Amino acid sequence: MSDFLEFTRVVCGYGDTTVVRGVSGAVGRGRVLAVLGRNGVGKSTLLKALSGVLPISGGAVTWEGRRLGGIPLHRRLDLGLAYTPQENVVFGELSVADNLWLHLKDRNETRYGRLFTMFPLLPRRLTQRAGSLSGGERKLLSFARTLGLRARMTLIDEPTEGVQPENIERMAEAIRERRADGASFIVVEQNLEFARAVADQLLVLDHGVAVLYGDARALTREDVEPHLAI
């Protein structure tokens, strides 16, 4: 049961509107699940349910055998779970450095050593106001901050949106390195290339249901693309 996130026939939405309608899956230690699908199909809604920030109206979500509902957010990080929403919050008035160390007790740079090597833009901009970064750079900052938490399970929503191709490749590398150390990820993505570069398993949603779920190596581009095209 350790480092194991399982979701079974999850149903959730907003008020009277059901968005996710009975989606199941599981992610074990050192595994990466990518959640794909067109705009508005419920990817972010599912991730909110898996992180526990959105109550579910049906099914179950368990982390290491324990139901997440009702566990306060700050406690989830102590349990090994990190969640970064799509429209992530970098604090524009704070410096890049303050954003990176915001949730951390120490100012130890070794925490970000590898990430700073991979994304030299970040150490170069440490004193700059985060609000002055471009959209893609802010995504990179929140990606680095999330990975800096070194959670056992990281849920991250569209990390590559607006990011330069070169940095997207490095993001994939960063995830693969963490995976090799046993960390697990659930990554929501629209970028199929990135998803295939990091994921062991793919889950493709359409209108709130899973239309494909399986081993990333067994699902070809031709299997997945029809569900992503407009």
Shortest reach from residue 38's CB to ligand ATP, in Å: 7
Distance (Å, whole) CA 90 – CA 194: 23
Q: Which of 25, 37, 80, 159 binds ligand ATP (CB under 6 A)?
A: 37
Contact present, 42 and 205 (Cβ < 8 Å): yes
Q: Which of 7, 12, 31, 44 binds Mg ion (CB under 5 A)?
A: 44
Q: Which of 43, 139, 179, 196 binds ligand ATP (CB under 6 A)?
A: 43
Contact present, 5 and 62 (Cβ < 8 Å): yes
86 binds ligand ATP (CB under 6 A): yes
Distance (Å, whole) CA 181 – CA 158: 22
Distance (Å, whole) CA 80 – CA 102: 18
42 binds ligand ATP (CB under 6 A): yes
Residue 27 CB neighbour total at 10 angstroms: 23
**Contacted entry of ligand ATP, Mg ion, none for residue 91, CB cut-off 5 to 8 Å set by kind:** none
With contacts defined by CB under 6 A, name the span among 43-51, 60-68, 91-99, 174-182 that binds ligand ATP.
43-51
86 binds Mg ion (CB under 5 A): yes
Backbone angles phi, psi at 56, to 5 degrees: -100, 150
Q: How many helices and strands in the chain, by DSSP H and E?
A: 9, 10
With contacts defined by CB under 5 A, name the span among 36-44, 122-130, 159-167, 170-178 that binds Mg ion.
36-44
Which positions touch ligand ATP (CB under 6 A)?
14, 19, 37, 39-45, 86, 190
